[in-house]
């Protein structure tokens, strides 16, 4: 098992393994035992898929179970109210612990509840999707969507620990697995540590979800994320590089009416950002072809027609990561992202046409 210590805000550890065999030892190490009242919160899909894990935890902990409907539509205040009510009805107190078991929606909602219930209680995160294992479970960002704006309400609240079992990834649907790969390609571009070449050479094993490949990717991404959030936990500067590909990605995700997953949209957004980087930062043209080839190998999209350009621009301009103008994270080289690069609407229009359009 590999461990990473995150020193930003309240420090915590990430445990990374294929399986959950060492979870009971980790719980003990973190002084979580049957004397503590625990609340495992998940969604109906994860509940059905991983009943065995939940039953095992139930035997060793004093644990109540709550689950809500799977999906991004559940990431709202209605679900949060349901969790608050359940916690109150079951006498959750300031010494209780929440356990998030699931993807990014579960982790973000449970983290938000933990940050607000009785002014803050403890939680642990056991992410089950590739996207949440490589990104959202680490960094302390928790929250929910409101009035159609993603993650507009939220806070920072670190877990007691994050336990990653890559075996969870074996039961993901293909689209959901590929969703996470889009975010991994982003990591391979913002840091030059050989991950892009690794993706190119090992794509078959990755798509077959071989253990060593999964562990390599999860550890690799989290090492990058650790380094970034330790410099800028509150997302006031350098952490913004994690949004590479996300400005256009966000607009595509909204206008595609859920045909594109987050990771697919980020992959397309990365191509547009690379095209803009050629124009604005003189990024060598060969990078585009290299990234396009990797995306194809990983079954990620490389073309997408923006159906409703007006709505797309509206979504981009209302992205909370932007001020008045459209600001992008661009690349001067692989591993050298530059934040807050101003892009005109015309430059963006041409870049889309010359890349994914």
Question: Residue numbers of the site for ligand GLY (CB under 6 A)?
Answer: 135, 139, 141, 235, 239, 242
What are phi and psi for residue 117, nearest 5 degrees? -65, 125
Shortest reach from residue 240's CB to ligand GLY, in Å: 8
Residue closer to ligand GLY (CB basis): 67 or 144: 144
Q: Are 92 and 117 in contact (CB under 8 A)?
A: yes
What CA–CA distances, in Å, run from 304 to 76, 248, 347, 355? Answer: 29, 12, 18, 9
Max distance between CA atoms of the chain, in angstroms, equals: 61
Residue closer to ligand GLY (CB basis): 135 or 179: 135
Burial 5-35 (b: 16+ CB within 10 A, else e): ebebeeebbbbbbbebeebeebbeebebeee
Shortest reach from residue 348's CB to ligand GLY, in Å: 21
Q: Specify the DSSP class assigned to residue 339.
A: E
Shortest reach from residue 242's CB to ligand GLY, in Å: 4
Q: Detail the residues annotated as belonging to a binding site for Zn(2+).
A: 183, 246, 262
Residue closer to ligand GLY (CB basis): 235 or 293: 235
Residue closer to ligand GLY (CB basis): 22 or 321: 321
Shortest reach from residue 232's CB to ligand GLY, in Å: 9
Beta strands (DSSP E) in the chain are 2-6, 12-17, 37-43, 62-68, 97-102, 122-127, 141-146, 149-156, 161-165, 326-333, 336-343
Residue closer to ligand GLY (CB basis): 242 or 331: 242
The distance of Cα 215 from the centroid of its chain, to the nearest Å, equals 16
Shortest reach from residue 263's CB to ligand GLY, in Å: 12
What CA–CA distances, in Å, run from 341 to 19, 237, 274, 325? Answer: 42, 13, 13, 10
Residue that is written with structure tokens 């798509």 in the block: 207
Shortest reach from residue 130's CB to ligand GLY, in Å: 14
Residue closer to ligand GLY (CB basis): 61 or 263: 263
Q: Detail the residues annotated as belonging to a binding site.
A: 104-108, 128-129, 141, 150, 168-171, 183, 246, 262
- Spatial separation of the C-alpha atoms in residues 266 and 181, rounded to whole Å: 10
């Amino acid at each position: 098992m590999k461990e990473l210590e995150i020193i930003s805000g309240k420090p915590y550890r990430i445990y990374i393994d294929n399986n959950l065999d060492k979870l009971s030892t980790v719980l003990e190490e973190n002084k979580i035992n049957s004397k503590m009242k625990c609340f495992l919160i998940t969604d109906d899909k994860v509940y059905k898929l991983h009943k065995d894990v939940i039953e095992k935890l139930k035997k060793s902990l004093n644990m109540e179970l709550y689950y809500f409907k799977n999906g991004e539509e559940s990431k709202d205040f209605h679900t949060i109210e349901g969790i608050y009510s359940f916690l109150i009805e079951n006498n959750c107190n300031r010494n209780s612990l929440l356990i998030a078991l699931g993807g990014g929606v579960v982790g973000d909602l449970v983290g938000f509840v933990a940050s607000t219930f009785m002014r803050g209680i403890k939680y642990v995160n056991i992410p089950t999707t590739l996207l949440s294992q490589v990104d959202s479970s680490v960094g302390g960002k928790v929250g929910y969507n409101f009035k159609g704006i993603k993650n507009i309400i939220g806070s920072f609240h670190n877990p007691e620990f994050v336990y990653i079992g890559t075996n969870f990834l074996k039961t993901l649907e293909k689209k959901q697995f590929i969703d996470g790969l889009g975010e991994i390609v982003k990591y391979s571009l913002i840091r030059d540590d050989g991950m892009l070449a690794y993706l190119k050479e090992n794509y078959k094993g990755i798509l077959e979800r071989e253990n060593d490949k999964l562990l390599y990717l999860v550890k690799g991404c989290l090492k990058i994320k650790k380094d970034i959030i330790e410099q800028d936990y509150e997302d006031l500067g350098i952490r913004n590089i994690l949004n590479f590909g996300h400005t256009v990605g966000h607009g595509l995700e909204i206008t595609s009416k859920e045909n594109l997953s987050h990771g697919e949209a980020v992959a397309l957004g990365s191509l547009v950002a690379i095209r803009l980087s050629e124009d604005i930062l003189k990024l060598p043209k060969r990078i585009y072809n290299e990234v396009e080839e990797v995306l194809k190998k990983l079954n990620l999209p490389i073309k997408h027609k923006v159906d409703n350009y007006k709505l797309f621009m509206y979504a981009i301009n209302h992205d909370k990561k932007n001020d008045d103008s459209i600001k992008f994270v661009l690349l001067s080289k692989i591993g050298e992202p530059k934040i807050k690069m101003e892009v005109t609407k015309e430059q963006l229009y041409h870049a889309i046409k010359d890349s994914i359009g």
